[in-house]
Structure 1
Amino acid sequence: MRIAEVLVGQNDSMRAVLRAIDRSGFSRAFVADSSGRLVGAICEADVRRALLNGAVLESPAHPLVLDVGISTKPEVGRAEAIDLMHALGVRELPVVDDTGRVVGVHTEHALAGALQRHNAAVIMAGGRGTRLAPLTDHLPKPMVTVAGRPILERLVLHLVGSGINRIFISVNYLGEVIEEHFGDGSSFGCQIEYLREDRAVPLGTGGSLRLLTRFGVIDEPLLVMNGDLVTDFSVGGLLDAHSGGNVVATIATASYEHQVPFGVLEQTDGRLVRVVEKPVSSWPVNAGIYVLEPELISTIPPGRLFPITELLDQCLERGRPVGLWPLREHWQDIGMPVELAQARGQA
């Protein structure tokens, strides 16, 4: 369908609006000026209400024009657009270029069947990010932007778009910047609460989880992740794998590859068997995303630095099984300038 077929003009009638809605199957028609720039939207329900109140099909529709509320850019990926739609509860998301012209519309059907989950999520966003200085001298690392959006906002939208509606953000360094941006989470389609560390006593990736005890009972497996990740991992896939794994914790794993820059000589008893030219080996590595059974929270010591890896070590020492779940989707840790440049498409 051509984009012109789903747009109406500022002076079009209610009949034209209903025709555009009928052609597109949308819940509303998008209004553009004579240059194709987005002006607003008209909802089908508002047109029908106006007709019931005495308007006729040839009545001008411009009194019904409302602000679109949100749009996206052509360079924003489909997955991120879908996350945004689901988080904000909109069925269509217009795509506008830098001049404001409508060039496309993301539609609701890609969201069909999304599952709401009772699990809560914790995003670790309290680190200093010294390796990204001076960029992080006045900005928390998770608030660094990739493709025009803070990394942490991408994560929040992805979680909400995957059915997670209760999110805790662990804050320390410049935490007020994060809290001011997200507030209570209502503008992002979720409830956001904050695990506030003492600035003088950083708790690490595991220690801040003990602060969850201040917020009542957590009775579902808890999703925990670092706040400096660019990823569209399957939230439901990880949670389902954990629930079916008979484990107390699950670690999402990425694949790290290393290429030997030489020809490797395989031998037996001092004789060459074969030459393998510049072989590549790979290993599963910690992706900084976990699912934990709620009972583990009470085992975390209060008030001291406690990496989450220490919690996992404790599980193994006590004979409690820990599962691994391989990520199949895009994943990138943003810890150093070269990684940030890669995420921004600059390297």
Structure 2
Amino acid sequence: MKYKNWKKIILKSNNTISNVIKNLNKSSAQIVLVVNKNKKFLGTITDGDIRRGLSRGLSLKSNIIKIVNRSPITVNYEINKVKAKKIMNKNSISHLPILDKFNSKIKGIIILKEISSEEQSFDNPVVIMAGGKGQRLWPITKKCPKPLLKINGETIIEKIIKTCRRQGFKNFCVSINYLGKMIENYLQNGKKLDSKIKYIKEKKFLGTGGSLSLIKNNSVKQSPLIVINGDILVNINFKELIDFHIKNKSKATMVVRKSSFQNPYGEVKLQNMKITKFNEKPIRYFFANSGIYCIDFDCLRNLKKNTYYDMPDIFKLLQNKKLKVLAYPLYEEWEDIGDLATYNRISGLK
């Protein structure tokens, strides 16, 4: 019952957040156990701790001690599966570290998904925005819509759907316009991908979010819904995004990623034409829209049907109506197949 590779998810407290992310991406545990130089247990780190740290302004180079959860629920002995599940379900946690009787040394960890035999399944629909022209990828998108471009023998949209299916999401709405019939003919009803696929058919281009106004009530079994651009490859845990959205009572949540831009010029600061400071090629940090969203279905009633909206327009509209909108920091691997250079790099083409 104990996670067999638990020793591989232990990190010393002198590591950086970047090291934690690398460890999380390598293992299936979705947690890191932190110890000091004497191997004494200090606490745990999950992706939620990382997101909160990044949203507070920490960087990937920051020491992990700043994001450690120092009060995790633990046990001092190996308990049976029934008791372990009861403790984790009662406390809404997914991990249960096992410590010695002094609460000092790590003896293992129990992970909920490892002891749960039933496969998770969610009715929340995933809306894939696949109606754009992909003009930055011309000429290869002149006769093939961007979501059907292949990477290592598999189309982009198949990769998106399979990522969601592995996490238990099976209901999809694909928004189509440009060369949309090709996408519909390729995916059909989703049976070959063990999914259920419906289509939102734009009659005119409605931006990156306008087609949400065309979703029918009977196509949504569970709110909130996930929205993702049809050219995004990402390792995000969608269930954790939904949990964050619901727990924080958000009406619309935008997944953002921390980015940076280096000014290629030396910056000169002035005050009354006097030079006060020099900054040589300064780096600016900011959060960028990742093209992934979690939205309550009832929010879509605020949209005018068949009206052009980009997704930021929808968030501004909801803000103006005093509805709660939040950001969800992303640290997982993310790629936007937005131009030829990116597509060629990911596809291994020159």
What letter matches 2:282 in structure 1? P
Which residue matches 1:131? 136
Which residue matches 2:66? none
What is the Cα deviation at residue 133 of structure 1? 1.1
DSSP 3-state at the match of 1:158: helix
The change in CA–CA distance for 1:184 and 1:297 in structure 2 (over 3 A counts) is same
Q: Does residue 154 in structure 1 map to residue 159 in structure 2?
A: yes
Q: Does residue 283 in structure 1 map to residue 286 in structure 2?
A: yes
Q: Does residue 174 in structure 1 map to residue 174 in structure 2?
A: no
Which residue matches 1:234? 237
The CA distance in 1 between the partners of 2:26 and 2:202, in whole Å, is 36
What is the Cα deviation at residue 254 of structure 1? 1.8
Q: Does residue 331 in structure 1 map to residue 338 in structure 2?
A: no
Which residue matches 1:257? 260
Select which of 136, 142, 147 maps to 1:142.
147
Asked if 2 retains the 8 angstrom alpha-carbon contact of 1:230 and 1:343, the reply is no
Which residue matches 1:210? 213
Asked if 2 retains the 8 angstrom alpha-carbon contact of 1:120 and 1:167, the reply is yes
Q: TM-score under structure 2 normalisation?
A: 0.62
Counterpart mapping for 1:1-347 below 5 A: 112=114, 115-198=120-203, 201-213=204-216, 215-264=218-267, 270=274, 276-346=279-349
Q: TM-score under structure 1 normalisation?
A: 0.62
Asked if 2 retains the 8 angstrom alpha-carbon contact of 1:140 and 1:174, the reply is yes
The change in CA–CA distance for 1:78 and 1:132 in structure 2 (over 3 A counts) is farther
Asked if 1 retains the 8 angstrom alpha-carbon contact of 2:214 and 2:306, the reply is no
Choose 1 or 2 for highest CA Rg.
1
The change in CA–CA distance for 1:182 and 1:283 in structure 2 (over 3 A counts) is same
The CA distance in 2 between the partners of 1:184 and 1:175, in whole Å, is 14
DSSP 3-state at the match of 1:329: coil
Per-residue CA distance 1:23-48 (angstroms, 9 max, x = gap): xxxxxxxxxxxxxxxxxxxxxxxxxx
The CA distance in 2 between the partners of 1:154 and 1:78, in whole Å, is 20
The CA distance in 2 between the partners of 1:342 and 1:125, in whole Å, is 22
CA RMSD, Structure 1 to Structure 2 (Å): 2.6
Per-residue CA distance 1:101-150 (angstroms, 9 max, x = gap): xxxxxxxx9x8456322211100001111221110111011111222211
What is the Cα deviation at residue 195 of structure 1? 0.9
Asked if 1 retains the 8 angstrom alpha-carbon contact of 2:228 and 2:292, the reply is yes
DSSP 3-state at the match of 2:287: strand
Asked if 1 retains the 8 angstrom alpha-carbon contact of 2:123 and 2:222, the reply is no
The CA distance in 2 between the partners of 1:217 and 1:148, in whole Å, is 32
Q: Which moved more, 1:140-149 or 1:204-213?
A: 204-213
Percent identity between matched residues is: 29
What letter matches 1:322 in structure 2? V
Unaligned runs of 5+ in 1: 1-76, 80-108
What is the Cα deviation at residue 265 of structure 1? 5.5
What is the Cα deviation at residue 277 of structure 1? 4.1
Asked if 2 retains the 8 angstrom alpha-carbon contact of 1:206 and 1:300, the reply is no
What is the Cα deviation at residue 290 of structure 1? 0.5
Asked if 2 retains the 8 angstrom alpha-carbon contact of 1:250 and 1:290, the reply is yes
Per-residue CA distance 1:162-200 (angstroms, 9 max, x = gap): 1111011111111121112212112112111111122xx
Asked if 1 retains the 8 angstrom alpha-carbon contact of 2:171 and 2:197, the reply is yes
The CA distance in 1 between the partners of 2:178 and 2:217, in whole Å, is 21
What is the Cα deviation at residue 203 of structure 1? 2.4
What is the Cα deviation at residue 161 of structure 1? 0.8
What is the Cα deviation at residue 255 of structure 1? 2.3
